[in-house]
Amino acid sequence: MSKMKAGPLSLRLSAIAYLAFMLFIPLAAVLQDGLRSGFSSFANSLFNPAAWHALKLTVWTAVVMALINAVMGTLTAYVMVRYAFPGRAWLNSLIDLPFAIPTLVTGVMLVILYGPQQVLGGWLKNHWGWEIIFAPAGIILALLFVTFPLVVRTVEPLLMEIDEDQEEAARALGASSWTTFWRVLFPAILPGILTGTLLTFSRALGEFGSVVVVAGNIPFKSQTAAVYVWGELESQNRQGASAMSVLLVALSFLMILLVDWFEKRRGKTRVRS
């Protein structure tokens, strides 16, 4: 009986073999190459000024973007769940669009819109002194576009679970809508906001297609960590590429485990993305 329940052992072996070949062996190859000449040369490669600048830029743009996305994603989810308005179903499909559009195309679209020779980009630059393309602002815009659905889609199911009665009760007891939000709604959806924001952040750390078009490959200005890896590969500096790759892989690992731990604590299975 137990044989039937689970299927033969060969099934498990082929599953593990596929994951090993596709996932674990390639990851091991990067780790081995990055740490090949010892930890100190690994650290040296990361503290090289260009690498360090790229890392700092990647982290701060990702943090700023994740915070904006947390707020706007939560508000969007709230509007989608609680408000009825014409075109809501249409808007609901629109929210997933950034997942479907290739990120490189996202980059191209932003360059068309905000490039210094374009109408809007030129106006922003000449009247306000705002540079977007080849600057951190462009990176943040690209990341916001690419990750927009993540927070919305993790918060939505939690909002749907909440009884509107609780909110009604709070209001009936004299709480303002602001108090109701902070005391009743916010605690209930906070785990979703945090999971969504973590996913957003983790996605942003490795983003390449949109960022390389929008920000280019300008060391000390707009070069992010993923673009740095590519730059090092182009200039045949394998040590630099491997060291940064190891760090990026380690960060992704950490993020994955954090999200997993978080969801286990919530006792929920992963929401559909």
Partner 1 sequence: MSGRKKSTRYYLLALVLGYIAVLILLPIGALIANTFAKGGMTFLKVLCRQDVLHAFVLTFSLSAVAVVLNAVFGVVIAWVLVRHQFPGRNLLNALVDLPFAVSPVVAGYMLILLFGRTGWFYPLLQATGLKVVFSLPGMAIATTFVSLPFVIREVMPVLQEIGLEEDQAAYTLGANGWQTFWRVTFPGIRWGLLYGVTLTFARALGEFGALFVVSGAVSGETETATLFVFRAMDERLYQEAYAVSLTLAAVSFFVLLAMEALRKRIHEEA
Q: Closer CB to partner 1, residue 113 or residue 162?
A: 113
Using rule CB under 8 A, residue 81 touches partner 1: no
Task: Return the residue of 59, 81, 98, 188 that touches partner 1, per CB under 8 A.
Answer: 98
Single-letter amino acid, residue 209: G
C-alpha to C-alpha distance for 181 and 155, rounded to whole angstroms? 14
Using the contact rule CB under 8 A, the part of the chain among 3-11, 37-45, 125-133, 156-164 near partner 1 is 3-11
- Residue with smaller CB distance to partner 1, 40 or 93: 93
Nearest to 160 by CA among 185, 182, 180, 178: 185
Contact region with partner 1 (CB under 8 A), list: 48-56, 94-102, 153-161, 189-197: 94-102
Number of C-alpha atoms within 13 angstroms, CB side, residue 46?
15
- For residue 146, the one-letter residue type is V
Q: Is 72 in the site for partner 1 (CB under 8 A)?
A: yes
Residue 18 tokens, joined = 């596929």
CA distance 157 to 179: 22
Burial 7-19 (b: 16+ CB within 10 A, else e): eeeeeeeeeeeee
Options 52, 56, 67, 91; binder of partner 1; rule CB under 8 A: 91
Q: Of these, 46, 59, 64, 96, which contacts partner 1 (CB under 8 A)?
A: 96
Residue 33 in tokens:
């190459």
| 85: contact with partner 1 by CB under 8 A | yes
Q: Which of 103, 197, 200, 223 binds partner 1 (CB under 8 A)?
A: 103
CA distance 53 to 88: 43
221 counts as binding partner 1 under rule CB under 8 A: no
* Residue 19 sits in the site that holds partner 1 (CB under 8 A): yes
Per CB under 8 A, 160 contacts partner 1: no
* Angle subtended at Cα 104 by Cα 102 and Cα 106, rounded to the nearest 5 degrees: 75
Binding of residue 101 to partner 1 (CB under 8 A): yes
At closest approach, how far in Å is the CB of 23 from partner 1? 6
Rg of the chain in Å (alpha carbons): 22
Q: Figure out which of the listed residues 65, 70, 110, 135 binds partner 1, where binding follows CB under 8 A.
A: 110
Rounded-to-integer distance, Cα 187 and Cα 185, Å: 6
Smallest gap from residue 252 Cβ to partner 1 (A)? 4
Judged on CB neighbours under 10 Å (0-12, 13-18, 19+), 22 is: exposed
* Residues 237-266 interacting with partner 1 (rule: CB under 8 A): 241-242, 245, 248-249, 252-253, 255-257, 259-260
Task: Write the DSSP symbol of residue 20.
Answer: I
With CB under 8 A as the rule, give the number of residues binding partner 1. Answer: 87
Query: In the range 118-157, which residues lie near partner 1 by CB under 8 A?
Result: 118, 120, 141, 144-145, 148
Longest dimension (CA), the chain: 75
**Smallest distance from the beta carbon of 131 to partner 1, in angstroms?**
17
For the bound state, the minimum distance from the C-beta of residue 60 to partner 1, rounded and expressed in Å, comes to 17
Q: Check binding of 84 to partner 1 (CB under 8 A).
A: no
